[in-house]
Amino acid sequence: MGQGHGWEGAVLKLLRAKDFVFTVTGAEDVTPHYRRVHLTDGGMLAATGVHPTMWVRLWFDNAGKPHQRAYTLVDSDPAAGTFGLEFALHEGVASDWARTVKPGDTIEATVHGTGFTDPDPAPSHVFAIADAASLPALNSLLTTLDSAPATVWFEGDQAGLPFRTDPSRHDVHTLPRRDAGAHLVAQVKEALPDLLTGTPDPYVWIACDTTTTRALISYVRKELGLPKQRVNALGYWRP
């Protein structure tokens, strides 16, 4: 299967990535710009297991060329072999697929590079920076690290989105996207140093566009001095 995915697929094959075919069982609009698709896993979960924030690479056809994008699993059920995927809709082949998909449609997927290591020691406080594209992963993270309070900066309109936050433990700050993410970076830089004071075992999780993510990880590592094992970051999309 990987040979049909161009050089990216060939590289993943060499890295012993696993390929699967998912089948759509249904889809629903959560908001006009956010869609959830339900799928069967083609035997994936039995072969790979499941872990927090687990993601897969989906392969889409882009005018005859393979195009891959990564998505976080939602509500995985290994016994049933089912899960969901959530799409923040915009222009692009992945969103076009999600908009028009119907039961019985299939899509090829590759599992490689995903992983999660529980922070040790357990976080005394979680600091998360996310947006609609990384919301499924944010939900998974906060469900997993459920013993710690969390401060969340969320870029974009959260109205109607399927947040799984608990107001008694999670303080969510919603910010508009301005200046290609620079507004979010500035707000985090303004607030985070004081919030870290008196927090013995912080854990910082960053999942925004690649430019914003790089700026924030540089800030928390180089300027705030957090060790790498207390920071997890992944660029979820390119502006």
Q: 220 in helix, strand or coil?
A: helix
Per-residue pLDDT, averaged over 152-179, amounts to: 95
Helices vs strands, H then E, count in the chain? 6, 12
Cα(152)–Cα(169) distance, integer angstroms: 11
CATH code given to domain 125-233: 3.40.50.80
**Mind listing the pLDDT tens digit for each residue in 37-53?**
999 999 999 999 999 99
Is it the case that residue 133 has pLDDT exceeding 70?
A: yes
Q: Quick check: 95 and 89 in contact, CB under 8 A? A: yes
What CATH number matches the domain at 2-111, 2.40.10.220, 3.90.1150.10, 2.40.33.20, 2.40.30.10? 2.40.30.10
Q: Helix, strand or coil for residue 82?
A: strand
Let me know if 31 is exposed, middle or buried by CB neighbors in 10 A (0-12, 13-18, 19+): middle
CA–CA separation, 82 and 78 (whole Å): 7
Output the CA–CA distances (angstroms, integers) from residue 145 to 41, 120, 142, 236, 238, in the order listed.
26, 12, 5, 21, 28
Confidence (pLDDT) at 9: 52
User: Residues 34, 89: contact at Cβ < 8 Å?
Assistant: yes
pLDDT value at 13 more than 60? no
Helix (H) or strand (E) holding 97: helix 93-100
Q: C-alpha 151: how far from its chain's center?
A: 17
The full set of domain ranges for the chain reads 2-111, 125-233
Alpha-carbon distance of 213 to 207, in angstroms, equals 6
Higher pLDDT, 233 or 81: 81
Amino acid 180: pLDDT: 84
Provide the H-helix boundaries in 158-208. Answer: 182-196
